[in-house]
Structure 1
Amino acid sequence: MKINKTNAARMLDKAKIAYELIPYEVDESDLSAVHVADQLGENVDQVFKTLVLHGDKTGHFVCVIPGDKELNLKLAAKVSGNKSCDMILMKELLPTTGYIRGACSPIGMKKHFPTYIHNTCLDFQLIYVSAGQRGLQIKINPNDLIKEVRAEVCTLFTEE
Structure 2
Amino acid sequence: MAKKKEEKTNVMRVLEQKKVPYQGHTYPHDGETAPDGVSVAQSMGQDPACVFKTLVTRGASGGYYVFDIPVAATLDLKKAAKAVGEKSVAMLPSKELLPLTGYVHGGCSPVGMKKQFPTVFHESCLDQNTIYVSAGKIGFQVEVAPQALMDLVRATAADVIVDE
Q: TM-score, normalised by structure 2?
A: 0.93
Offset at residue 158 of structure 1 (A): 3.8
| Aligned counterparts of 1:69 and 1:152: Cα–Cα separation in 2 | 18
For the pair 1:18 / 2:21, whether they are aligned, the reply is yes
| Aligned counterparts of 2:27 and 2:51: Cα–Cα separation in 1 | 13
For the pair 1:142 / 2:146, whether they are aligned, the reply is yes
Contact 1:93-1:99 at 8 Å conserved across structures: yes
Identity score, percent: 46
| Aligned counterparts of 1:31 and 1:97: Cα–Cα separation in 2 | 20
Give 5+ residue unaligned stretches, structure 2. Answer: none
1:106 partner SS: coil
Give 5+ residue unaligned stretches, structure 1. Answer: none
Contact 2:34-2:139 at 8 Å conserved across structures: no
| Aligned counterparts of 2:158 and 2:62: Cα–Cα separation in 1 | 18
Larger radius of gyration: 2
For the pair 1:39 / 2:38, whether they are aligned, the reply is no
* Paired amino acid for 1:125: N
Equivalent position of 1:125 in the other structure: 129
| Aligned counterparts of 1:66 and 1:46: Cα–Cα separation in 2 | 6
Equivalent position of 1:6 in the other structure: 9
2:136 partner SS: strand
| Aligned counterparts of 1:152 and 1:53: Cα–Cα separation in 2 | 16
| Aligned counterparts of 1:30 and 1:17: Cα–Cα separation in 2 | 26
Structure 1 residues 89 and 57: CA distance shift in structure 2, 3 A:
same
* Paired amino acid for 2:12: A
1:139 partner SS: strand
Q: TM-score, normalised by structure 1?
A: 0.96
Once superposed, what is the RMSD of the aligned Cα atoms?
1.2
Structural mapping, 1:44-83, within 5 Å: 44-57=48-61, 59-83=63-87
Offset at residue 94 of structure 1 (A): 0.2
Report how many residues are paired.
160
Offset at residue 26 of structure 1 (A): 1.2
| Aligned counterparts of 2:18 and 2:67: Cα–Cα separation in 1 | 22
| Aligned counterparts of 2:102 and 2:34: Cα–Cα separation in 1 | 21
For residues 59-107 of structure 1, what are the alpha-carbon distances to aligned partners after superposition, in whole Å with 9 as ceiling and x for unaligned? 1110000000000000011111110110000100000000001100010
Offset at residue 4 of structure 1 (A): 1.5
Offset at residue 29 of structure 1 (A): 5.6
Equivalent position of 1:110 in the other structure: 114
